[in-house]
Amino acid sequence: MLDENPLLDNYHQAPIIGYHRAPLSQKFGAPRQPNLVALTSVIEMLALYDTPAAFVGLDKFSHIWLSWQFHHNYRYKNNNETSTSFRAQVRPPRLGGNQKIGVFASRSMYRPSGLGLSVVKLEQVKIVQGRVLLIIKGADMIDGTPIIDIKPYVAYSDALTQAQSGFAPAAPELLTVTVTDAANEQFMMLVSAGEPSNANNDTSIKDADTGLSNTTVASTIHHIQSQLIGSDMSIIKELIAQDPRPAYRRTEIATPFVMRYKSVDVVFQLIESGQLQIIAVVTV
């Protein structure tokens, strides 16, 4: 008699249509929900899905839904998928990291499908070298996240103003974030060091709304992934204000934590209740 495993029979495969390119390459520091931080990132579409014809009309929508894969948890990183495993309960950070709830009552990455769902702001449908790049804001995904599907956000049906949100009725309270003079000086020096020396001779076309070059796909992605600019400090502070530290370590005073952003490591610590301080910005 053949061995039968119903868990293995009930699988659906979906193609990866693109990858998310973003300033955040690690889970630590990434927003826990979409649209908490107006972080600019880009979706690089893959052939055969990068044809401009597939995106005709999408620029008429202000927001889009993204289906994507959690690729940095233990089940999926390095293809270490355990197909028969199932974690029925999780500990959401919103509840302090101690209380358990059902996985289907959470947005935990440790779920049967390994899929995430986010609504983000569509800044631009950008055609570069005949390929499609989607410039977006507000994603809660890290760099390299596989994109499974894209759909337009339709306000009249998708926005349910009377919906109840269980244990997360409102956005989490933000912490105050300050920057030491030394850290700010380090940041500004790194910004200056990264500025192109031939800026006055740059013949590439810049988009007024994004500041991104039209020259190549690689230069557009580099601008978002790696190139440190002055306005990044505001985004860094917004990310840290979300308090990415583990819930069980949020009372530790003067304990340094490191958030990787683009090409730098940002070191911060709690200096008093409700106040975090950036103490160093160093190259990776």
By DSSP bridging, strand 115-128 and strand 131-137 are: antiparallel
> What's this model's pTM, rounded to 2 decimal places?
0.85
Predicted confidence (pLDDT) at residue 217 exceeds the cutoff of 70: yes
Q: Which of 31-35, 103-107, 227-231, 254-258 has the lowest mean pLDDT?
A: 103-107
The amino acid at 43: I
Most confidently modeled of 91-105, 146-160, 188-202?
146-160
Same domain, 152 and 250: no
How many domains is the chain built from?
Answer: 2
205 and 111 within one domain: no
Phi, psi of 243 (to 5 degrees): 60, 80
What pLDDT shows up at residue 58?
Answer: 98
Contact 40, 224 (CB under 8 A): yes
- Residues 188 and 277 placed together within one structural domain of the fold: yes
DSSP state of 201: G
More confident residue, 94 or 127: 127
Query: Domain limits at 154?
Result: 6-158
Query: Which tens digit of pLDDT belongs to each residue from 88-116?
Result: 998 888 888 789 999 999 888 888 888 99
Q: Which CATH number fits the domain that encloses residue 92? A: 2.40.30.70
Residues 23 and 145 reside in one and the same domain: yes
Residue with tokens 């008429």: 60
Task: Report the distance separating Cα 270 and Cα 284, nearest Å.
Answer: 22
Q: Of 158, 189, 216, which marks where a domain is finished?
A: 158
Model confidence at 200, pLDDT cuts 50, 70, 90, reads very low
Q: How confident is the model at residue 209 (pLDDT cuts 50, 70, 90)?
A: very low
φ/ψ of residue 105, rounded to 5: -100, 15
Q: Are residues 53 and 140 in the same domain?
A: yes
Q: What are phi and psi of 8, to 5 degrees?
A: -80, -25
Would the pLDDT of 208 be above 90? no
Answer positive or negative: Cα dihedral of 280, 220, 63, 25.
negative
Residues 234 and 115 in one domain: no
Higher pLDDT, 72 or 206: 72
